Structure 1
Amino acid sequence: MASDEVLLEVDGAVAVVTLNAPERRNALTPAMAAELIAAFDEVDARTELGAVVVRGVGRSFCAGGDVQTLTDAGRDPAAPDAYAGMGAIYDSFYRLGQVHAPTIAAVRGSAVGAGMNLLLAADLRIVARDARLLCGFLKRGMHPGGGHFVLLSRLVGREAAAAMALFGEEVDGETAVRLGLAWETLDDDAVEDRALELAARVARDPSLARVAAANFRKETGPPHVSWEIATQFERPAQMWSMRRPAP
């Protein structure tokens, strides 16, 4: 990896990808997003790996896009550098959704904005009871991006997606399970071990795991419009929202 902000470790047939920028609550910069993509590329290239666990170091799973990155992009979101930087962040969680092996997000602490997209991109979520899951885009004066409405509503349905994405409702671990946003909620210190346990189970047969994951996504994946199309719907709206004067 290019730096230590994304760590890739292997435990048997399970890859563990760790967001390791706790000083900014694992908020994504374009450089960190590029490291994430590189990690997922490496996982795909190693056919002996049958599952992936994504986790974060520190108090947050992922606090979304880095504030400075968003501020810089807001000056002119269509400028080539800004557009490419935001695109890299989009691409990082979209790439997670395309990883060949089944994926689990082990979520402790907060997940906001692009951090929500990252956990939503996984096949399964194990979350801490005291987790804070918040869409957060409108609170920042931004339109959601990255296909957020599709990713969220395919798990929780239209009503809960509206409550979270439009009206700013925050969700904890117990509520996440009740809504179908997570499979299981546990004490903070048990989350990662449980995710690794599930990952090891499916990873026993890496080839089968990869084929099953591909077909699972094709058969259950985003309704109505594709994730890719939703991303294109949302990108110009998000750029517009970022270019406005701060409300």
Structure 2
Amino acid sequence: MSAPHILVKDDGRVRIITIDRPDRRNALTPVTVAEMEAALREAADGSDIGAVVLTGSGGHFSAGGDVDHILDAAGGDDDAGLLTMMRAFHRVVVEIWESRLPVVAAVSGIAYGGGINLALVCDLVVMSADARICEVFVKRGIVPDVAGAYLLPRIVGMHRARELMLLAPEIGAERALELGIANVVEPDADAALATAVAKAHELAAMPDYTVALTKKLVNRSLDADLRGSLELEAVTQAAALRSKAAVEGFEAFRQSRGKGRR
């Protein structure tokens, strides 16, 4: 499935979702994020797809929220239009965060505001060397959105997050790698996308059930105390150990160990 604001391509068990508004540097509107949400949900609801890559067309990931749409939403007599817009953005954040599928962001060019924060929600981030990111919100007279204020301190630490959000510097891919925002930096956009797709295939080759449970366990740990995290660990591990993949994996290990002892 493709839609006016996105392109969707399935490469084996990997779904590649491309934000396709190159004339607007892939700026995000409620329509854009709703299409992304639908493509993600469709992939997660079936069994054919094991991982997702999220990227942008035209050499940029995303410039963040579409200014024209934001101004239109802000022009009403009350906050209704703005709240509707923000909740549309929040739905795609939750879809990525809670999806059973791992999502890999391939980031090149501009990734500003809601654009970089959308990448932060993903499970892995691959950047090209030309990527430029900025938590630009304060400079625009607004506050961070698309879960940025929740995620960034957990990734880079509180003081670094304050620096990036209050001073809003533009930083490059290598600095993002140093801070832990990026997992990998590749020489150009094509290489970044290729690496993201390769990592997605690697993830898709893992047992789906245990990938989903591990993602859930890691995400929930951000808000759980030690005892709560241990209880969730016990419940998810018990479920994982009953899965077909675990039984087959342990049986194969036992057989190989037995051969090694002969």
Query: Normalising TM by the smaller chain, what interval?
Result: 0.7 to 0.9
Structure of larger gyration radius:
2
Q: 1:107 to 1:150 in 2, by over 3 A?
A: same
Bigger shift: residues 177-186 or 7-16:
7-16
Bigger shift: residues 124-133 or 93-102:
93-102
Contact 1:6 1:36 in 2 (8 A): yes
* Partner Cα separation in structure 1 for residue 172 and residue 138 of structure 2: 19
Normalised by the size of structure 1, how large is the TM-score?
0.84
Q: Which residues in structure 2 correspond to 1:175-194 (within 5 Å)? A: 175-188=175-188, 189-194=190-195
Aligned match of 1:35: 35
Bigger shift: residues 176-185 or 93-102:
93-102
Aligned match of 2:88: 88
Q: 1:77 to 1:105 in 2, by over 3 A?
A: farther
Task: State yes or no: 1:213 paired with 2:215.
Answer: yes
User: How many pairs align?
Assistant: 223
How many Å apart are 1:32 and its aligned residue?
1.2
Contact 2:53 2:103 in 1 (8 A): yes
RMSD: 1.9
How many Å apart are 1:76 and its aligned residue?
4.0
Aligned match of 1:171: 171
How many Å apart are 1:13 and its aligned residue?
1.1
Q: Which residues in structure 2 correspond to 1:43-192 (within 5 Å)? A: 43-76=43-76, 78-188=78-188, 189-192=190-193
* Partner Cα separation in structure 2 for residue 77 and residue 85 of structure 1: 15
Contact 2:54 2:103 in 1 (8 A): yes
* Partner Cα separation in structure 1 for residue 105 and residue 42 of structure 2: 18
* Partner Cα separation in structure 1 for residue 108 and residue 146 of structure 2: 22
Structure 2: gaps of 5 or more residues:
226-262
How many Å apart are 1:132 and its aligned residue?
0.5
- Alignment-mate amino acid for residue 202 of structure 1: L
Task: State yes or no: 1:197 paired with 2:210.
Answer: no
- Alignment-mate amino acid for residue 193 of structure 1: A
CA deviations on 1:103-124 (whole Å, 9 max, x unpaired) are 1100011111111111010011
How many Å apart are 1:45 and its aligned residue?
0.7
Name the SS for the 1:62 alignment partner: coil
Structure 1: gaps of 5 or more residues:
225-247
Contact 1:61 1:109 in 2 (8 A): yes
How many Å apart are 1:51 and its aligned residue?
1.0
Aligned sequence identity (%): 34
- Alignment-mate amino acid for residue 169 of structure 1: P
How many Å apart are 1:77 and its aligned residue?
8.1
Aligned match of 1:23: 23
Normalised by the size of structure 2, how large is the TM-score?
0.79
